[in-house]
Amino acid sequence: MRAAIRHRSSDMSAALRGASLPPLLKRLYANRGVSSPHELELTLKGLIPPTALKGVQEAAEILADAIEGEARVVIVGDFDADGATSSALAVSVLQQMGLEEVSYLVPNRFEFGYGLSPEIVALAAEREPDLIVTVDNGIASYAGVATAQGLGISVVVTDHHLPGEDLPPADAIVNPNQFGCRFPSKALAGVGVMFYVLTVLRAELKQRGWFEETGREVPNLADTLDLVALGTVADVVPLDKNNRILVAAGVARMRSGRARPGIEALLEVAGRDAASITATDLGFVLGPRLNAAGRLEDMSIGIECLLAKSSVEARPLAQKLHDLNRERRDIEASMQTEAMAQLEGIELGVSDLPFGLCLYDSKFHQGVVGILASRLRERYHRPTIVFADAGDDTLKGSGRSIEGLHLRDVLDRIATSYSGLVSKFGGHAMAAGLTIAAKDLALFTQAFDKVVAQALDNEAPESTLMTDGELEATEMTLEVAQVLTNAGPWGQHFPVPVFDGVFRVRSQRIVGEKHLKLVLEAHAMVFDAIAFNVDVDQWPDESVLSIGAVYKLDINDYRGERRLQLLIDSLWPET
């Protein structure tokens, strides 16, 4: 079924209308809620100060005491790109500040699952730490924090996930989404929260005279913004102005050749030129390679790559991450084939689909179910949860939602209405994870469909593609494509500009097994275009003389020659 096309449209403020910007940029910015040119100033001095971030001063003082007291500290991270960048950020900067005994620990998702569980505390306790610091997790770890404190270990929680009713009894909690926090931006990623903690810690140590007394150089935290940008984009948090500042600064460091060796090595194995990298590349090129370690093996590979001090040290780790990502893609392709087979019987029309999709197969890989859920959500425009075996007669699921449906709230309602059905759950509006008993899969499937239907008022969600409208012929140029690239960073809630139009098809062929290469014509102009991962049973189709398309303006840089290319997100025959 072809999705409906809707155009973004917002009234342009007088201030934006009067700005010295190209008309197209004014329209794009207005469509993304920008009302003043001031909102486009992305210098670091525009960052929100940390004063309103609840708990940050207490956390900084605890860490300063740990540094001065030569304490032993364990950083407990998460097994995704945000967790990896947060862990690398914390370890590297604390070492620079003089904390000699600091190490990290990331739960293996297949053995322990997510967060500071009592089992992870027991592992950390083997290192005899004085302090545990969580990064990108911990806000829901009541039992784990209590276990640590029962062993005489202090705990500082830094996180950005939504809290439950009861906060863990930590010595300090830093989370912009905790109750009573007045920090204006609730969109910080875990790595952004840790960046703020380290900023306040540096100020605390300065005030104590630590750097002068020890002769240590004061760390320049701007040097860490490549990590902050990568974790922020890869975690798909909203790019409000504060996050856009962080990301813009990090991308600028990479473009200028000042990225850390691990990020440079990841770009190298991916075949990307750092000088032309964009925020989008962080999410679609670097992020998946980091995440592959946590999905298939051990995220310590990714963290060690980010901590590497030289290209010689970083390159083999980056290559390992690259290889894992290729393996992950192969696993995903196999799982997607199985999932399509399961859904084949109900793909007759939208009315045949459940409101909420649940899938399970004994062969599904626990580390890849989230990606599969995302793919199915995109294809069927339904909230989707995919389960895999987790051992001990339990299933672990990863879910992805659609706009307008808060997935964590749906799981909360199921847990409340069906006592004992959900063992544990957590997440965001658009993504969440959960554990259920294997015997309860059918019951959960029914409950999920029912609760989602209630949340959607029993109206099947319409699949829509939001675009910025059509482009004039004068706007479909290489120069405009470069302007749009420079006008970012684009990302979640500040989406990359996409456009729609109708084109005559001059030629079409498959390249790279499943990518459709086209030569198109419009406005008496000819354009190269490519659509990735098309249905090869449908394309190419020589009977199609014209197509409708949703596309981005892209720059194809091949052997030093830069040409405009249309990057097609969706296409359909036009009669």
CATH code, domain with 271: 3.90.1640.30
Strand ranges inside 1-148, DSSP E? 4-7, 73-76, 102-105, 131-135
Q: Identify the pLDDT of residue 345.
A: 57
* Domain end position, chosen among 321, 342, 360: 321
Cα-Cα end-to-end distance for the chain: 16
In this structure, is residue 332 part of a structural domain? Answer: no
For 198-240, what is the HEC assignment? HHHHHHHHHHHCHHHHHCCCCCCHHHHHHHHHHHHHHCCCCCC
CA angle 44, 46, 47 (to 5 degrees): 75
Q: Identify the pLDDT of residue 559.
A: 77
Hey, what amino acid is at 122? Answer: A
Are 450 and 523 in a shared domain? no
Counting Cβ atoms within 10 Å, is residue 333 exposed (0-12), middle (13-18) or buried (19+)? exposed
* Farthest CA pair distance, the chain: 78
Are 448 and 477 in a shared domain? no
Are 304 and 251 in a shared domain? yes
Query: In CATH, what number is assigned to the domain containing residue 360?
Result: 3.10.310.30
- State the residue range of the domain holding 260: 51-321
Which string of DSSP letters, residue by residue, matches 371-425? HHHHHHHHHH-S-EEEEEEEETTEEEEEEE--TT--HHHHHHHHHHHSTTSEEEE
Are 451 and 471 in a shared domain? no
Are 308 and 368 in a shared domain? no
In this structure, is residue 327 part of a structural domain? Answer: no
Q: Identify the pLDDT of residue 162.
A: 86
Q: Identify the pLDDT of residue 1.
A: 54
Helix 81-97 to helix 225-234 angle (10° resolution) is 160
Query: In CATH, what number is assigned to the domain containing residue 477?
Result: 2.40.50.460
Are 143 and 291 in a shared domain? yes
Are 457 and 469 in a shared domain? no
Are 304 and 410 in a shared domain? no
In this structure, is residue 339 part of a structural domain? Answer: no
In this structure, is residue 336 part of a structural domain? Answer: no
Q: Identify the pLDDT of residue 350.
A: 47
In this structure, is residue 535 part of a structural domain? Answer: yes
Return the residue matching tokens 């459940």.
354
In this structure, is residue 166 part of a structural domain? Answer: yes
* Domain end position, chosen among 462, 492, 511: 462
In this structure, is residue 489 part of a structural domain? Answer: yes
Q: In whole angstroms, what is the distance from residue 278 CA to residue 286 CA?
A: 11
Specify the number of domains making up the chain.
Answer: 3
In this structure, is residue 411 part of a structural domain? Answer: yes
Cβ atoms 394, 366 nearer than 8 A? no
Are 222 and 156 in a shared domain? yes
Are 447 and 506 in a shared domain? no
**Considering only CA atoms, which of 123, 28, 40 is closest in space to residue 77?**
123
Are 448 and 474 in a shared domain? no
* 3-class secondary structure, 465: strand
Are 434 and 476 in a shared domain? no
Digitized pLDDT (tens) for each residue of the chain, 575 residues in all: 577 899 999 999 999 999 999 999 999 999 999 999 999 999 999 999 999 999 999 999 999 999 999 999 999 999 899 999 999 999 999 999 999 999 999 987 767 767 899 999 999 999 999 999 999 999 999 999 999 999 999 999 999 998 888 999 999 999 999 999 999 999 999 999 999 999 999 999 999 999 999 999 999 999 999 999 999 999 989 999 999 999 999 999 999 999 999 999 999 999 999 999 999 999 999 999 999 998 888 899 999 999 999 999 999 999 999 999 999 999 988 998 888 888 775 544 445 789 999 999 999 999 899 999 998 998 889 999 999 999 889 999 999 999 889 999 999 999 999 999 999 888 778 889 999 999 999 999 999 999 999 999 999 888 889 999 999 999 999 999 999 999 999 999 999 999 999 999 999 999 988 999 999 999 999 999 999 989 898 999 999 999 999 999 999 987 778 999 999 999 999 97
